[in-house]
Chain A
């Protein structure tokens, strides 16, 4: 039987020791391969007082593993023409390997070594810790990073997994011993609760066999689940941070939001696209930049995750203009929540979102991101094929209702960071 070849339909294969395995066909003509392992190892799992653990582990995992020290691993990848990327989020951490399609089995095996047998060499630990300390400083001193940090602290209560940015503090990093990192890795880089997404032309059975060969050495199979404390509804307010000597003020407005699997998600997605998510067409871009000429960037994001989420509107503007921009952002937020958008406006944004799907199929790496996203949220195999119909089923009134629910139902926080008294 011929293997499916539609990159918009991935397939859940029988799990390997509890590890969810997904196969996605690559786009036609693509010569590259991608595979991602996602672990329930985001910084929301950082033990109290040990903030920074998840990021540090994730970074170290991708540096040296099994027989490869950091230089040997780098050379192995270079020789294959491959790359290894890692990233952490509040709920999960992931490692992605990308390279030539004809080397897919070797690269998948390498990914298995990396995520199951990291070395945590003392030199790597020292160096990576130094790098994270510098990133902490960057977060404190750069307006865009600082604004995001302040926003999350404003929205979420202490101990909430979404409250931090995962970088920890100099003190928390100092106390992270190798043993603690090894323990975190053992408990969080697991088969059950983990996810392996493979975008390759190889048949499903060959991929599953390769996964069986390469992903059977997890020390622990059962992965943890995240627990979210309730977000109080009255945490709103204004936070201002003056960073003199800089040029631009960064603005963020945000609040708690819905999970990706919430039934209101398609309507909330459109509400966000309309507000500030759809490049060039969205209201914030049109009002703040195109008509107001007040900022280079003005947009919004809806971060709908597995267990919950948050949304934010953002703009970067001059020290003499931020007082005019904040009310503009607030007014647009009120409008999207209170007034049903016209069918014409919804149609424009909706058809744009549907029309761009082919652009995600230009390369294996881009198509792969779609599959990782859908599989992480345990969405159906035909999710991306069915996505246009889901969007077309949304009525304008539902967009407004979803905005009320997902874009600032309560406790909106406003953050202003930068040279508040002038550049």
Chain B
């Protein structure tokens, strides 16, 4: 009988008195241990004036505390062969450190310290400002980034999903160190944090260690709920951008459900049918999409006939309703109008006819197969457990997985009809300027 649960390693979960949630996933065979701290704080908790604050605070948490002088966090981890990094999303910020298993103490010490004691000095903030600009500038060199930033800005007029986690240029230029400290003090705290430890360790000993290190931290962390509700769109919204690039490019966005919404499983199936796979359940050794999907509808409808060189869809898991997007890079000589019309025809057809039984079965198989090896290695385990838990709990993965296996073709069709309405879409098109094509 086909399984309806994701094969996950056993976990032990508990919550400290100060509100910190902890998940342990021991695997005695693992040569490494991976420590993840997830904060339910992201760009959704910012407002105009301080957009990009979550991302900037993420940078500053590597820049020192009373216990770790500047650079010592990096040195402590890298000198034992470990790796560490962090990333900021709209809904959360995550910090991870993976080290050889005998060095577990190192990341636990760092995380328990910087959860409440990061310094964020004026001098370091001033120096980091240009680094943040540089990161943003690197992204701006890609037309895809510029289009996506514009797309979300058009799609959301009220909700903080309107801006990118990197923040707006003006805000990066104007934000003060005190504003960043205030943001950190307000949101970084035990109540908004989730600690995940995966890999080679003894769970009893590590639980004791965690209680000792994190249990004494003061309870903190303001409510991170976003109460702004984005009004339903009335009419299509469009924008045209131009700049250096290769061939015309476009993204079409439609308002899509949040991760825990009941419409999500059918939306995920739509994503898999159109783009060939879906972010939450993709096959491969890494996280995210694994390449081209010649059997997908967008590939067959746009790339095969020579209209595009790349085409995919994407639904991103979000705490609040976000966007379902279709993205395509035109083949040389193909106009944006022609490409857009072809996308519209494909989506309309899917909404009118629904998926074929073969597509439904293929999607179920893909999703089943993708989950079979999703937890190989301590780092991936820490990531995946934390990802679902920061939204809700590890069981959320099972719920979505089981729902995808149960969803019917007619539900997917109904979802497509609801989703792909031309008068609710957002379209951003990018034309490469001829003079910028280098030579």
Contacts and interface: CB of A to CB of B under 8 A. Distances in A.
B27 interface: yes
Interface string A118-144: 000001001100110110011011111
B295 A71 contact: yes
A243 B130 CA distance: 21
A75 B295 contact: yes
Contacts of A71: 294-295, 300
A78 B295 contact: yes
Contacts of B366: 78, 81
A280 B78 contact: yes
Nearest to B433: A245
Given A98-B285, A248-B140, A359 B134 contact: no
A14 to B, nearest CB: 29
Interface stretch (B259-267, B375-383, B387-395): B375-383
Contact of A134 (B246, B284, B379, B437): B246
Contacts of A370: none
A136 B245 CA distance: 11
Interface size class of A (residues with CB under 8 A): 35 or more
Contacts of B78: 278-281, 352
B33 to A, nearest CB: 10
A31 interface: yes
B229 interface: no
Contacts of B135: 296
Interface string B21-32: 000000101111
A63 interface: yes
A31 B372 contact: yes
Contact of B131 (A73, A131, A293): A293
A348 interface: yes
B370 A81 contact: yes
A389 B38 CA distance: 38
Given A140-B437, A278-B78, A293-B129, A359 B100 contact: yes
B332 A127 contact: no
A356 B379 CA distance: 13
Given A352-B81, A362-B32, A247 B438 contact: no
B84 to A, nearest CB: 8
A48 interface: no
A296 B131 contact: yes
Contacts of A85: 290-291
A79 B436 contact: no
Interface string A300-322: 00000000000000001110010
Given A32-B285, A141-B246, A362-B378, A130 B332 contact: yes
B283 A82 contact: yes
A16 interface: no
B133 interface: yes
Contacts of B378: 362
B31 A281 contact: no
A69 to B, nearest CB: 9
Given A123-B304, A141-B432, A278-B78, A81 B134 contact: no
Instruction: Specify which of B244, B290, B435 lies most central, judged by the most chain A CB atoms within 10 Å of its CB.
Output: B244
B82 A356 contact: yes
B130 A318 contact: yes
A153 interface: no
B244 A246 contact: yes
Interface in B118-143: 126-138, 140-142
Contacts of B192: none
Given A141-B245, A241-B438, A81 B131 contact: no
Interface of B: 27, 29-32, 70-71, 74-75, 78-84, 98, 100-101, 103, 126-138, 140-142, 243-247, 276, 283-286, 290-291, 293-295, 300, 303-304, 306, 309-310, 329, 331-332, 362, 365-366, 368-370, 372-373, 376-380, 432-433, 435-439
Interface of A: 27-32, 34, 63, 70-71, 73-75, 77-83, 85, 98, 100, 123, 126-127, 130-131, 133-134, 137-138, 140-144, 146, 241, 243-248, 278-281, 286, 289-290, 293-297, 316-318, 321, 348, 351-359, 361-366, 418, 423
5 contacts: A31-B372, A34-B285, A75-B295, A79-B369, A286-B71
Closest 8 CB pairs of A and B: A355-B81, A81-B369, A362-B377, A365-B285, A293-B127, A137-B246, A356-B81, A247-B137
Given A130-B306, A281-B74, 15 more contacts: A34-B285, A63-B294, A78-B295, A80-B369, A83-B291, A140-B437, A141-B246, A247-B140, A280-B75, A296-B138, A348-B75, A348-B79, A359-B32, A362-B378, A366-B285
